[in-house]
Amino acid sequence: MKTQVVIIGGGPSGLLLSQLLHLAGVDSIVLERKSRAYVLSRIRAGVLEQGTCDLVRSAKAGARMDRDGKVHSGFAMAYNDQIVRIDLEGLTGGKTVLIYGQTELTQDLYEARDKLNGMMFHEVDDVEINRLTGDSPFVTFLHNGEMHRIDCDYVAGCDGFHGISRQAVPANVRTEYEKVYPFSWIGVLSKTRPVDEEIIYSRSSRGFALCSMRSETLSRHYLQCPATDTPEEWSDDRFWNELTRRLPRSVSEQLETGPSLQKSVTPLRAFISEPMQYGRLFLAGDAAHIVPPTGAKGLNLAASDIYYLSNALIEFYKSGSNTGLETYSQKALARVWNASRFSGFMTRMLHNFVGGDSFDVRWEDSLLEYLSRSKAQQTVIAENYVGMPY
């Protein structure tokens, strides 16, 4: 087989890239390790920056998002019994975020690929990238017991944190920056009315809590928990009791509880691999970086990578210019580091660090206290939350 771009990984990054390239007349083939049903069973975050929404629209996959997504013009940060509302719209000159689940978005991208007869292999194995430093790379993989080879011009590594693409960048070229937090989040999806119209991030002496939602009847809640915890250790009763205790009384009084539909534990980690390009390989999304979820930036960073990468590839095929490709890593990393800083800041401000001394606890309390009184600090949070321009 032959194509222009082989895309490894069929999560949001890979699907969005193949769709944008296709619409611009650039051929690609997507290789995904899992089945489509498996990819669509993963529950992830659901806060989209305007830049992400615009990109999804330009990929002609935005109709359902625009119909079912909910515009949020602010969110709340709670501590002790105080609540500070971050007025995103007022503080950023009219910017907002859209609440729409990543799972739904991935489904929309699949349907958009189907409509264009996009070429994709599911349940592939043993993917190997070859001859990256020459001008004719090729990718081999196993599918239905048969080995295949695709010759191509470029390879996009969109295969997430556990993928193989990043390992194709030689260790002596690659620098990995990592911070593993000493706690996880236990997340519960439930058919219950959200506790508020807007998302609430809460810091309490018992640990962090987050009340989010997917629709008017579907809630998504999270609690900070020890990194060693498993979902089985969190019965529904235990989860709701603990959540109640971590929210201000005025919020917990509104909490509707019910059976969980899904429960999962996510470790908190910050990770960035540099550079995001090696020879003819370009990394994008979780393959190159992970942010802790406190700033809701994971999917949005995947989208900004794909914005830079799709434009660079399209520019190359239209005009022969390499400029976008040569500057891709630098541009993407600048935005990644900024979001990583913001996500780290939100994480530090809102969590209890296991073994953290009381100086740190008081320091973090004081940050929230300052936030409640300072429009400047609220503006800093708002402009980062809605997303820095591309």
Q: What residues act catalytically? A: 72, 201, 293, 297, 385
Binding interface with ligand APR (CB under 6 A): 8-14, 31-34, 39, 44-45, 102, 124, 127, 158-160, 162-164, 285-286, 298-299, 302
Centroid of chain to Cα 149: 31
Contact window for ligand PHB (CB under 6 A) among 45-53, 64-72, 78-86, 266-274: 45-53
Residue number with CB closer to ligand APR (11 or 378): 11
39 is in the binding site of which of ligand APR, ligand PHB, none (Cβ under 5 to 8 A by kind)? ligand APR
Q: What SS3 state is found at 152?
A: coil
Strand order in the sheet with 70-72: 47-48, 97-99, 70-72
Sign of CA pseudo-dihedral 300, 303, 304, 305: positive
Residue number with CB closer to ligand PHB (166 or 203): 203
Asked if residue 246 lies in contact with residue 263, where contact means CB atoms within 8 angstroms, the answer is no
* Cα atoms in the 13 Å half-sphere on the side-chain side of 203: 22
Question: Is residue 350 near ligand PHB by the rule CB under 6 A?
Answer: no
Please give the single-letter amino acid code of residue 225: C
Residue number with CB closer to ligand APR (247 or 313): 313
Residue number with CB closer to ligand APR (32 or 364): 32
Footprint on residues 282-301 left by ligand PHB (CB under 6 A): 293-294, 296
Quote the strand ranges of the chain, DSSP E: 5-8, 28-31, 47-48, 70-72, 75-79, 82-86, 97-99, 119-121, 125-130, 138-143, 146-151, 154-157, 175-190, 200-203, 209-215, 218-226, 260-274, 277-278, 281-283, 289-290
How near is the Cβ of 188 to ligand APR at its closest, in Å? 18
How near is the Cβ of 39 to ligand APR at its closest, in Å? 5
How near is the Cβ of 264 to ligand APR at its closest, in Å? 12
How near is the Cβ of 310 to ligand PHB at its closest, in Å? 25
Q: How many residues bind ligand PHB (CB under 6 A)?
A: 9
Closest chain position to ligand PHB (CB): 212
Footprint on residues 217-256 left by ligand PHB (CB under 6 A): 220
Question: Is residue 45 near ligand PHB by the rule CB under 6 A?
Answer: yes
How near is the Cβ of 291 to ligand APR at its closest, in Å? 8
Phi, psi of 279 (to 5 degrees): 55, -125
* CA dist., res. 212 & res. 72, Å (int): 11
Sign of CA pseudo-dihedral 359, 360, 365, 370: positive
Q: Which residues make up the interface to ligand PHB (CB under 6 A)?
A: 45-47, 199, 212, 220, 293-294, 296
